[in-house]
Amino acid sequence: MRVVWATDIHLNFLNAEERASFFSSIRDHQPDAVFVTGDIAEAPSLQPLLDEMRRAIHVPLYFVLGNHDFYYGSILQVRNSLKNWCQIQPGLIYLSMTELVQLTPSTVLVGHDGWGDGRYGNYYASPVRLSDQELIADFQDLDREAVLNKLHALGDEAASYLRERLDNTLASYQHVICLTHVPPFKEACWYQGKMGNDDWLPFFACQAVGEVLLNVSRERPDCHITVLCGHTHHAGIVQLRPNLRVITGFAEYGAPCIQDTFELEELFCQSDFLKGRDGREARSV
Ligand SMILES: [Fe+2]
Ligand SMILES: [Fe+2]
């Protein structure tokens, strides 16, 4: 099975011609499936642009959403309307609102949007204010403490969703691919080849999801977990445990790119685990 992975494609910044050119570059790789790890568009443009992409690529599109996908909307409303809409759209699979997807008899796909859950770094000392707080209804009119509580709750929601699904995979699969928007470890929160600092980490890593992944990887040492994520727009690979690695994708506004094209077997090839492709930084924890 051949997969094209892209992240943070922010299609709303492109005109129709630029989008068609990006979709055509995906088709050139002749994938059997496409993975997208969030920041696809913004709430008002999300469904039309997903529909356009689905029609252009001709293969199933498995995706999660990123924070930008909720801009000018609310989180629950966007997720629920997308869930209902995807049920009648062949080939559009929103992983935050679906059951496990078996890709091969030994490989399963899970995913959730995730959220920067405010737990890494130093939230109270950070001068960082993401546009999320003005542009997503859930955050409007919240004070600083209430925002942090909301970030915790969003991270916990992602973690329990994944925990429940991963529990079901433990007995049956050797390989797990997990798509999420927000890096689940501070070590996977890349910025110019280094880890994001304490000002950015509260918003750019989801500790709650990371804990679930670490626990699962300990409980099933023979099961290999690969996490694909984005959000920081800076690429890197980190090996957290022998059977757990996180690949963070690069992105640039207005210039979406294909992060990687791989055969599923290749993704789980041990010898390839720490090789940074295309100059991607790699580190082992
Ligand atoms: Fe992004
Ligand atoms: Fe993002």
Q: Which ligand is nearest to the CA of 7?
A: 1
pLDDT tens by residue, 25-66: 999 999 999 999 999 999 999 999 999 999 999 999 999 999
Q: Where are the alpha helices (DSSP H) in 58-98?
A: 75-86
State the sign of the Cα–Cα–Cα–Cα dihedral 40, 41, 43, 45: negative
Q: Which amino acid is at 7?
A: T
Pairing of strands 33-37, 175-180: unpaired
Which residues keep their CB under 5 angstroms from ion ligand 2? Answer: 39, 66-67, 231
For ligand 1, the distance from its centroid to the CA atom of residue 152, given in whole angstroms, is 20
- Predicted TM-score (pTM) of the model is 0.95
For the chain, list the domains and their CATH numbers. Answer: 2-284 (3.60.21.10)
pLDDT tens by residue, 210-254: 999 999 999 999 999 999 999 999 999 999 999 999 999 999 999
Q: Which amino acid is at 222?
A: D
12-16 CB contacts, 8 Å cutoff, 24+ apart = 12/41, 12/42, 12/45, 12/49, 13/253, 13/254, 14/254, 14/256
pLDDT tens by residue, 53-110: 999 999 999 999 999 999 999 999 999 999 999 999 999 999 999 988 999 999 999 9
